Amino acid sequence: MTVKTHSFKIDTNKNFEIIDITSEVNGLIDIEEGIVSIFSRHSTSAIVVNENESGLLKDFEFMLANLITDEFSYQHDRIDNNAKSHLKSFLLSSSECLPVKNGKLDLGTWQSLFFVELDGPRRNRTVTLTMVGE
Amino acid sequence: MTVKTHSFKIDTNKNFEIIDITSEVNGLIDIEEGIVSIFSRHSTSAIVVNENESGLLKDFEFMLANLITDEFSYQHDRIDNNAKSHLKSFLLSSSECLPVKNGKLDLGTWQSLFFVELDGPRRNRTVTLTMVGE
Amino acid sequence: MTVKTHSFKIDTNKNFEIIDITSEVNGLIDIEEGIVSIFSRHSTSAIVVNENESGLLKDFEFMLANLITDEFSYQHDRIDNNAKSHLKSFLLSSSECLPVKNGKLDLGTWQSLFFVELDGPRRNRTVTLTMVGE
């Protein structure tokens, strides 16, 4: 049994951007079997698992914009004009904790792991991986 | 310290169905104390924890239908007519990572663990359990 | 490698209350590196990670009230008049599983860990910590 940690950086190019990080995370996993925490160190981003289909990812952006709308005035915008980005992050969560098998994420056929930028563009978004297993 | 993995299958009978899997998961736990990841290998399903009260489960279905409505046209529906199912899964998440104590899920009195079918009926939905502990 | 568990109690004073538990959790962590599950044993509460800015926390309360509105009649309210509290908990989740480094939560600069009371005031809300690491 062992603990291993890694981190990697992401530069984003748009205000909303959803980036498939499955391959990058698989390349950093160095246990054979166990659990890995994938954690974004930012409160205007999220980590999610779903299908990588371009139309669906557009629907996801639309859904979030529909749930957290422009029609209200948010208090946090007086300090930093990104309340909606934080609120989307609250709803989605900044981490996932996933199974590892045979040295990689044990996902289903139609599942990918995504980093969701909710307040870009940004440089040096950091994702940490913490693995426990053998 | 050890890692143990198990999986089990679920057949669902309705488009939306919420199934209490607390007993099934407890029956498969074979560590005494630690953490268990409960992961659904499907991007139109979810794993959640809450109270098993039949009226509340109806309210939960209603809430999701109200948040992800029929009033929009979704791009993913051109490929596979289940965008709303994926979007509900995005919001809820496909996994939970929970404490284990005395060889079972260490839940509160009013908590159960549920598999949520968002695009049924389906055969052979697979849930994997990955335990780390002793 | 080891497993450690702790729990602590929270008394809440309002119907909706968001309480920063970062320091309390850090004080109870007794591994150097690994993963910690932070789990609320109640189905009308939540555990979330985001920025501790007072205006943002008001926005968060407003967002939840806007998503889970008073305009509907909920079935669970015939049994226990707190359906909306449960539904908010369903959306947010009752736990987080986070990285530990150097003996404390490995959060980003603008991140705090919160217990969210959704049906207060209540006495003796219990949060359990389960750590796996070394």
Q: What ipTM was assigned to the predicted interfaces of this complex?
A: 0.96
Above 90 in pLDDT, residue C32?
yes
pLDDT of residue A70: 87
Kindly report the CATH class assigned to C2-69+80-133. Answer: mainly beta
Which residues in chain C have their CB less than 8 angstroms from residue A95's CB?
49, 96-98
Residue C133, pLDDT > 90, answer: yes
Whole-angstrom Cα distance, residue B74 to residue C24? 44
Inter-chain contact A76–C59, Cβ cutoff 8 Å?
A: yes
Of B90 and A70, the structure prediction assigns the larger pLDDT to B90
Task: Assess whether pLDDT exceeds 90 at residue C71.
Answer: no
For B5, what's the count of Cα atoms within 13 Å in the CB-facing half-sphere? 16
Q: Considering only the beta carbons, identify the residue of B50, B53, B97 that sits closest to C37.
A: B97
- Could you write out the DSSP letters of every residue in A32-83? SSEEEEEEES-TTEEEEEE---HHHHHHHHHHHHHHS-TTS--GGGGTSS-H
Instruction: Give the neighbours of chain C: at least 3 Cβ pairs within 8 Å.
Output: A, B
Query: Which among A33, A67, A109 has CB closest to B67?
Result: A67
Dist CA C64 CA C101 (whole Å): 32
pLDDT band at C70 (very low <50, low <70, confident <90, very high): confident
**Interface with chain B: mutation pick from C31, C33, C43, C96, highest number of B CBs within 10 Å:** C43
DSSP string of B14-80, one letter each residue: SSSEEEE-HHHHHHH---SSEEEEEEES-TTEEEEEE---HHHHHHHHHHHHHHS-TTS--GGGGTS
Specify whether the CB–CB gap between B112 and B14 falls below 8 A: no
With cut-offs at 50, 70 and 90, classify the pLDDT of residue C15. Answer: very high
Q: Which residues does chain C have within 8 Å of residue B59's beta carbon, measured at their own beta carbons?
A: 74-76, 83, 86-87
DSSP C76-125: GGGTSS-HHHHHHHHHH-SEEEEEEETTEE---TT-EEEEEESS-S-S-E
Of C33, C48, C111, the CB nearest to A3: C33
Element (H, E) at A21: none
Q: Name the closest residue on chain B to residue A92, using Cα atoms.
A: B91
Query: How near does any CA of chain B get to the CA of C16, in Å?
Result: 18
Record the tokens describing residue C113, joined without a space: 């860990």
Residues in chain B: 134
What is the distance between the alpha carbons of residues B32 and A84, in angstroms, rounded to a whole number?
Answer: 42
Both tokens of residue B75? 């791009």
A75 → chain C, closest CA residue:
C55
Residue A44 reports pLDDT greater than 90: yes
Both tokens of B114, joined, read: 């549920």
Mean pLDDT of chain C: 97
By C-alpha distance, the chain B residue nearest A50 is: B43
pLDDT in tens, B47-104: 999 999 999 999 999 999 999 998 899 999 999 999 999 999 999 999 999 999 999 9
Residues of A in contact with B86 (CB under 8 A): 50-51, 56, 59-60
